[in-house]
Amino acid sequence: MTLSVCRGSALILTLAVLSACATDITQEETLALTDSELALDREQSDWQTPFWESRTNAGSSQTERPDTVSGDDPLTNIGLVLAPSIQDGRALVETLYSDGQGQGLRPLPGGLVAETINTADACQNQATASDACLASLAAYPGVRLLVEIMPAQEGDGLSAELHDTSLNAHYRIDRFANSEAGADALMDEINRRVAMAPWSSRVFQGEDGGLYISASRVNGLNQGQRLDVREPGKAVRAPSGQVVAFRPGQSVGRVEIVEFVGDYLAVVKTVSGQTPDDRHWITLPASQ
């Protein structure tokens, strides 16, 4: 498997391969992916209903992860986007979904990711993997690593582009097999990239005025748990431009989880220091 870094601040999410690293996503392609079986959107959720109008459904999930114990990190949200031109990718994607939690990852439903890309203001009329769009996806549905899978440009197999919304880093996997073994190789690379920085989330303000993070019990968080508010950290890059380490930002406050809203959101309140905004990182306390 050959890896290379795709540089630049604006890489475009591709649902069909039209260039070496990126191209524009069309509304038709996004909707086609949302409706596709390969989107693996098994929940059949009503994406049009604002989450703050569905708070009565909070806590109804049957897939809650047991409470974390001291030292456990929450599951990291990743977004998987499969090109519609891949006709037989179910084994690969189902392996990614089934193996994710055991490796500290939570693959989000493909339909949720695609629908968010299609409706988010920051993703309209510009490159989907632009800084603004990726920042929007980081806030909701909390995508840490956006993984787009497409046919390899040369020969058989698949290729992938990975966009790290926390470190503003972009990577390319040139070729891997469309199989369970290929999924394992891709998962290894996803894990390696995610491990570059600690678990984190972003806050955003809902229409009800509450502060939300896109993580929940399913990720392994607990009601009443306190999290640090940090200034943005900095990626450490080698002379080649490759991200090789991460330096966390200064802790400037603390928030507490006061309520879970379904499988994807938690309400937080400030208990000390600065009230976070969309530029802050919400992380586990350093002692944890």
Residue 62: is its pLDDT beyond 50?
A: no
Assess whether the previous peptide bond of 141 is cis (omega < 30° from 0).
yes
Which tens digit of pLDDT belongs to each residue from 194-243? 999 999 999 999 999 999 999 999 999 999 999 999 999 888 989 988 88
Same domain, 110 and 162: yes
Residue 30, helix vs strand vs coil: helix
Angle, alpha carbons 191-197-198 (nearest 5°): 95
The percentage of the chain sitting over the pLDDT mark of 90, rounded to a whole number, equals 52
Select from 194, 224, 244 the last residue of a domain.
Answer: 194
The whole domain housing 278 covers: 200-283
Higher-pLDDT residue of 4 and 79 is 79
CATH number at residue 263: 2.40.10
Give, rounded to a whole angstrom, the gap between the first and last alpha carbons of the chain. Answer: 36
**For position 90, what pLDDT does the model report?**
82
Select from 194, 221, 236 the last residue of a domain.
Answer: 194
Q: Region 46-62: what's the mean pLDDT?
A: 38
Same domain, 186 and 205: no
**For position 65, what pLDDT does the model report?**
45
Please tell me the distance from the alpha carbon of residue 188 to that of residue 182, in angstroms, as a whole number.
10
> Could you tell me if residue 288 is inside a domain?
no
Same domain, 188 and 209: no
Higher-pLDDT residue of 35 and 86 is 86
Written as one string, the DSSP assignment of 184-222 is: HHHHHHHHHHHTTS--EE-EEE-TTS-EEES--GGGT--
Select from 194, 215, 235 the last residue of a domain.
Answer: 194
What radius of gyration do the chain's Cα atoms show? 18
Same domain, 69 and 149: yes
**For position 13, what pLDDT does the model report?**
32
Helical residues (DSSP H) of the chain, grouped into ranges: 27-35, 90-100, 110-119, 131-139, 180-194
Which residue bears the tokens 């440009």? Answer: 153
Total structural domains in the chain?
A: 2
> Could you tell me if residue 138 is inside a domain?
yes
> Could you tell me if residue 89 is inside a domain?
yes
